[in-house]
A and B are shown apart, each in its own frame.
Chain A
């Protein structure tokens, strides 16, 4: 069974710092990996999706990388801002159909002004 782990569970950094969030998964035969942002009491917003054939995806100050062989993905946030404070979750999809999406527990990020 696929297991997804996110470390650290919580992170506090000063504004302007570059930071890396980690996501590891046990089954490397994934179809894609998606990073989400969740604000308190709200739904999830998709940030980046990386297909299994891709190594990385970029959107603005965000860069997500994927290393299937080692079972890892990282989300890099450049020049962090207080507005980046949220919980970040990664989710791994094993196949192209159905329910095979497994979520990590999330990293709760606080960026202090």
Chain B
């Protein structure tokens, strides 16, 4: 079955450490996105990529970094510069043609100790 796989599902980090969240899709989608969700709030865009080897900052990119070396993969690194990293992180991808529907992974919950 096609879909988006995020790992790990839960991650604990000490302050000052960088962590990388994985996002893999087998939907053959060109565009991929990272969102952050805080309790009771909507999603906020961190980074997005429309094509391999290219990505753009979203609304809250500070303290985060991404890469897009392969079409299937769009990992997100939460760096020590991110002041409040505890949140639920969601990866999504979008088909560029047809229905243009956004498809999400199951999410990764990051907690900073």
Contacts and interface: CB of A to CB of B under 8 A. Distances in A.
Interface of A: 4, 9, 32, 34, 36, 41-46, 49, 89, 91, 93, 96-99, 101, 103-106
A49 B90 contact: no
B105 interface: yes
B100 A49 contact: yes
**Main secondary structure on B side of the interface with A:** strand
Interface stretch (B13-21, B39-47, B63-71): B39-47
A104 B109 CA distance: 20
Nearest to A87: B40
A45 B105 CA distance: 9
Contacts of B44: 103
Interface of B: 4, 6, 33, 35, 40-45, 48, 50, 56, 58, 88, 90, 92, 99-107, 109
Contact of A104 (B42, B45, B92, B100): B42
B101 A105 contact: no
A89 B45 contact: no
